[in-house]
Structure 1
Amino acid sequence: MSESVEETAEALRKAFDTMIDRLKEARDAIDTPELYPAPQTERNLAEGYRYVLGFLLGSIERSLADPLYPRFRRAIQPMNRSTIDNSDAVYLAAEIDGNHSYRIRGRALDSRHWRGENPVTSKRAPQYVIFELSSGHAGDSGSLAEMRPGNRINTSTLDCHSLQVDSDGHFEILIAPQRPENYDGNFMLSCRHSHGSDYVGRFLTCRELFHDWSNEDLLDLEILRLGAESDPRSPLNPAGAIALMDRIGELTRNQVHFWNAFNTVTLETYGKVPGMPSIGDDDKPFMPTNDMNAPNALGLATGGGQSTNIYAGGVFMLGDEEALLIESTVPVPPSFMGFHLANLWGESLDFESYQSNLNGHMLEQDADGAYRWVVSHRDPGIANWVDTTGLPHGYLTIRWTYPEPPVREQWPSLKVKQVAFEDIQQSLPATTKKVLAEQRQEQALMRMRHVQRRYRQY
């Protein structure tokens, strides 16, 4: 082995060791009090290690990505759920360089519902789809300071209600620093001047939100940089491998540290944090316990989130014989509505094996027009039961999607009530729908089949 090869081997080994050190720093966030971990219980500790490994998985995939040769990948999936994710969503992502131009080609199944029409086939496109191009990725710095206004923006968004789709379900989207003259097709701007600064789109996401899990299916998507076919990618060299390992370690460590701090400090999951600024009321945490905050429109400045969503959130803390009743009136029907539970690491609860979420299609609306969910550890025989999977302490979240939000006076409203498990039936309207054990089994089979389709790898 030549001297130069020996030096390369040593540099690569050193980079690998540095990566492992950063991964250990990520692991420390599971149980180091100064790093804002979830309370130490056997389940929280076990899930904390999965949480860190999930960020490692995501960091590997992100670090291997090439903005000049992008492809859509699953940013969140059952192996790396995080950030209080939407149980009804597929999160796709592609790293790009907004100084260049790209073309997305796609195909959707029956998408008439995107245009306010009735579908004519049973198999159809997701309930709602949105593409968003951001100048940065939440959590990459590892510091809550990145949430200051103007640190990152969406340079462009495009949702299914505005997407031009042909009669066969095909569509194209051009992404470019400026719209070509006389171009009237689907377009996303990749460079924008805002807040006195110039921003370049770097992180493209596509959220596909599902209502009817039995009949809605994924989009077919591809993305190519214009000119990539005549400009082949260079093979990996030692400098590239070192940069790859550096980025994997840095992203994993920073993401875990950021979201721990976000959950504890920003969301005030465990109460007010002395000496820290608050986005909640003076006397009430932003995420109250056994209650939910008022519906609000979050954005990139509060850790990200879908730009067309109105959110409400809180924390449940329930004993074996306790339950929460959550009631919502929705004056203006949204494009999507979903209620979800998550653990204190921000991982959505297992929605394949448990009914840990209920969306607007699954939900039984009561005769008075209100929507009601029952959150408890065991089945009360109510159709709208949401299963905690035995977790005593976790997150509650509702999302309503409005591409054009209604006036504030017509936003959804919420009421949350804690009751004894034995009082659930009498606390609900007499017309509340009940279900039998066989129906629960049918619902469980539907969930398993849908989740396999949603996250298929072929």
Structure 2
Amino acid sequence: MRNWADYADLLKPAADLLARTHSPDSEAMQAQLWRQFAMNLSQGYFLLFQSTPDHPEFAPFENSVFLAQPNPDAVYYYAPIDGSGTYRVTGERGNAPVAGFALGNKIIGMDPLPGKGLGNYDFDDLEIDSNGRFEVIFSSERPAAYQGNWLKLPEEADFILVRQFSYDWGNERDVRLAIERLDAPPIRPALTPAQVDAKLAHLFGGYARNLSQISIGAVVRCAEQGFVNRFNLTSFQELGNGKDWPQAYWETVFDIAEDEALIIESELPEQRPYWNIQVIDGLWNQVDYVYRQSSLNGLQAKVDADGKFRAVLAHRDPGVANWLDTGGNLYGMLIGRWYRCSGHPTPSVTRVKFADLDRHLPEGVARIDSDERAEALRRRRIGSQLRRKW
């Protein structure tokens, strides 16, 4: 084992990432980045120390605490696996509109570059009993004489990720899951000093920096491609989504002054089982979504009488129902999702003075008063906290 100071020293070079941000001379940006490093250390501990491929357990991956661009409607769980092993997942489906498994190699942050997706499986394609319960085996080959749910495990897979997207926060039943390896001893041995040393070295010298490097890079890439206050339709395959992931994303960097706002306008696909939009900051962190309306999904959003979705990104409440709160960020990103939708429209963006919003919005745009906003925010913070995140 090394001295504790040696592990802390491994984190110091990560400070040079500040120079890659949009405002490296800003004390606020420095504070956000240092906070992100602390977040990464906390998240990395769960991923590296909670369980092993021989004795896995689903760990919290992204949620309202681990904010490196989670979908605000989603709760994610991660379990490390060995592609040569045999695993059984036991659980209850719940009733969130989207729930499924993703297999992959090197979850984001484990390496300096994102890993790759190796397959996505919707829970609704499994045989589920009348009580909503199921079991599924993951292995390289279907076990002899086994007739139940089985999913092929690629040899290079080293994790199973669970995604579930909620529309009606706190009122839907969340997924409940357990995982076990069937071809490993049942008792989990304690980590050896050598194993602890290796994991600490990876946590401080790898994961904490890697996750911030990838996050900052995602913002820089979008800006360098010219998508500033202009949406780009993308798949995020370069960030580890498998080719079979049935979701299109729309992203833009936003850059607005204190007295400006963005109007987002979009047609809506005729079939749209799930869609949303979210606000993230210049480090790719989701803006607080428990106490701020920094995201909207297909249930929360108000659709105008002409069938279009219109929202206003602004630093203060514009009195429009579909307000997207910047959280005080002048520079950041908007990301939206079309999941299994019949079309993938690209929304328009109009940059205006906040004082001139009414001149640019149609007369029938959905509006809200202060009492209605207070109630909407109350439902939001209660619903978010009622979800299982840990």
Cα shift at 1:456: 5.1
Instruction: Answer yes or no: is 1:357 the counterpart of 2:295.
Output: yes
Three-state SS of the structure 2 residue aligned to 1:140 is coil
Q: Are the equivalent residues in 1 in contact too, given 2:170–2:384 (CA < 8 A)?
A: no
Q: Which residue of 1 aligns with 2:60?
A: 74
CA–CA distance in 1 between the matches of 2:52 and 2:164?
Answer: 23
Q: Are the equivalent residues in 2 in contact too, given 1:76–1:90 (CA < 8 A)?
A: yes
- Which amino acid in structure 2 is aligned with residue 93 of structure 1? Y
Three-state SS of the structure 1 residue aligned to 2:349 is strand
Cα shift at 1:90: 0.6
Three-state SS of the structure 2 residue aligned to 1:398 is strand
Q: Which residue of 2 aligns with 1:37?
A: 21
Q: Which residue of 2 aligns with 1:296?
A: 234
Cα shift at 1:184: 4.9
Cα shift at 1:178: 1.7
Q: Which residue of 2 aligns with 1:6?
A: none
- Which amino acid in structure 2 is aligned with residue 131 of structure 1? F
Q: Are the equivalent residues in 2 in contact too, given 1:71–1:94 (CA < 8 A)?
A: yes
Cα shift at 1:68: 0.8
Q: Are the equivalent residues in 2 in contact too, given 1:77–1:455 (CA < 8 A)?
A: no
CA–CA distance in 2 between the matches of 1:155 and 1:292?
Answer: 28
Distance 1:135 1:170, change over 3 A: same
Q: Which residue of 1 aligns with 2:127?
A: 164
CA–CA distance in 2 between the matches of 1:320 and 1:155?
Answer: 43
Which one has a bigger Cα radius of gyration?
1
Distance 1:255 1:160, change over 3 A: same
Cα shift at 1:188: 2.2
Q: Which residue of 2 aligns with 1:13?
A: 2
Q: Which residue of 2 aligns with 1:416?
A: 349
TM, length-normalised to structure 1: 0.79
Cα shift at 1:455: 4.5
Q: Deviations over 1:171-194 (max 9, x none)?
A: 112111122356453332212xxx
The count of residues paired between Structure 1 and Structure 2 equals: 385
Structural RMSD (CA): 2.1
Instruction: Answer yes or no: is 1:257 the counterpart of 2:209.
Output: no
Q: Are the equivalent residues in 2 in contact too, given 1:290–1:317 (CA < 8 A)?
A: yes
Q: Which residue of 1 aligns with 2:107?
A: 137
Q: Which residue of 1 aligns with 2:271?
A: 333
Three-state SS of the structure 1 residue aligned to 2:108 is coil
Q: Deviations over 1:351-406 (max 9, x none)?
A: 1111011111001111111111111111111111111122111101111111xx64
Instruction: Answer yes or no: is 1:50 the counterpart of 2:40.
Output: no
- Which amino acid in structure 2 is aligned with residue 141 of structure 1? D
Q: Which residue of 2 aligns with 1:310?
A: 248
Q: Which of 140, 155, 168 does residue 177 from structure 1 map onto?
A: 140
Q: Which residue of 2 aligns with 1:382?
A: 320
- Which amino acid in structure 2 is aligned with residue 171 of structure 1? F
Q: Which residue of 1 aligns with 2:376?
A: 443
Q: Which of 12, 22, 43 does residue 10 from structure 2 map onto?
A: 22
Q: Which residue of 1 aligns with 2:98?
A: 128
Three-state SS of the structure 2 residue aligned to 1:364 is coil
Three-state SS of the structure 1 residue aligned to 2:327 is coil
- Which amino acid in structure 1 is aligned with residue 2 of structure 2? R
Q: Are the equivalent residues in 2 in contact too, given 1:54–1:80 (CA < 8 A)?
A: yes
How do residues 137-156 of structure 1 correspond to structure 2 at under 5 angstroms?
Answer: 137-142=107-112, 146=113, 153-156=116-119
Q: Are the equivalent residues in 2 in contact too, given 1:217–1:453 (CA < 8 A)?
A: no
Q: Are the equivalent residues in 1 in contact too, given 2:63–2:389 (CA < 8 A)?
A: no
How do residues 389-404 of structure 1 correspond to structure 2 at under 5 angstroms?
Answer: 389-402=327-340
Instruction: Answer yes or no: is 1:91 the counterpart of 2:93.
Output: no
Cα shift at 1:430: 2.0
CA–CA distance in 2 between the matches of 1:184 and 1:417?
Answer: 55
Q: Which residue of 1 aligns with 2:92?
A: 107
Q: Are the equivalent residues in 2 in contact too, given 1:129–1:159 (CA < 8 A)?
A: yes
Three-state SS of the structure 2 residue aligned to 1:20 is helix
Q: Are the equivalent residues in 2 in contact too, given 1:18–1:246 (CA < 8 A)?
A: no
CA–CA distance in 1 between the matches of 2:158 and 2:273?
Answer: 27
CA–CA distance in 2 between the matches of 1:38 and 1:130?
Answer: 35
In the alignment, structure 2 segments of 5+ residues that lack a partner are: none
Q: Which residue of 2 aligns with 1:275?
A: none
CA–CA distance in 1 between the matches of 2:272 and 2:9?
Answer: 46
Q: Which residue of 2 aligns with 1:224?
A: 180
Q: Which residue of 2 aligns with 1:343?
A: 281
Instruction: Answer yes or no: is 1:245 the counterpart of 2:200.
Output: yes
Q: Are the equivalent residues in 2 in contact too, given 1:51–1:80 (CA < 8 A)?
A: no
TM, length-normalised to structure 2: 0.92
Q: Which moved more, 1:203-212 or 1:418-427?
A: 418-427
Identity of aligned residues (%): 29
Three-state SS of the structure 1 residue aligned to 2:380 is helix
- Which amino acid in structure 2 is aligned with residue 155 of structure 1? L
Three-state SS of the structure 2 residue aligned to 1:396 is strand
